[in-house]
Structure 1
């Protein structure tokens, strides 16, 4: 999460992961929500940059949206691999 400090990246990542787990009906804890949000933001920023969309603005809302999109993608991938 470029442009955000560590504390704000944890907060935004946690919120994005929590919203994604609620949307996907995944039973994850707070620690996994933070990981999903932060890693999801990295994944989403990469994937969206391939399509010319740039969330590198460093704002809380932009990185939250990227984290949400990425976390949903990560939950979907895990479910697809597990076959659940």
Structure 2
């Protein structure tokens, strides 16, 4: 995947995750970072759970969003502690 594609997918996934987890938006750069970290988390976690969504750009956005939501929930729990 190209760098530009990773940034776009990260931005979309981070924004979607910020919409799902209310109050967890971080702006454009933060959303890109959260989206990319979420993609890494999802690429590690989902295959271990036996979840496969096929292969396409939409799948990449969905996987990154799932991972970003996990990351944002963990960050929210850490902030509250």
- Which bin holds the TM-score, normalised by the shorter protein? 0.7 to 0.9
Aligned pairs, how many? 80
SS of the equivalent of 1:76 reads helix
Please give the TM-score of this superposition, normalised by the length of structure 2. Answer: 0.88
**What aligned pairs does 1:1-84 form with structure 2 within 5 A after superposition?**
4-25=1-22, 26-54=24-52, 57=55, 59-83=56-80
Distance 1:55 1:43 in 2: 15
Please give the TM-score of this superposition, normalised by the length of structure 1. Answer: 0.85
Task: Let me know the Cα RMSD of the aligned residues.
Answer: 1.6
Distance 1:80 1:28 in 2: 16
Does structure 2 conserve the Cα–Cα contact (< 8 Å) formed by 1:18 and 1:33?
Answer: yes
Distance 1:56 1:10 in 2: 21
Structure number with higher helix proportion: 2
Does structure 2 conserve the Cα–Cα contact (< 8 Å) formed by 1:45 and 1:56?
Answer: no
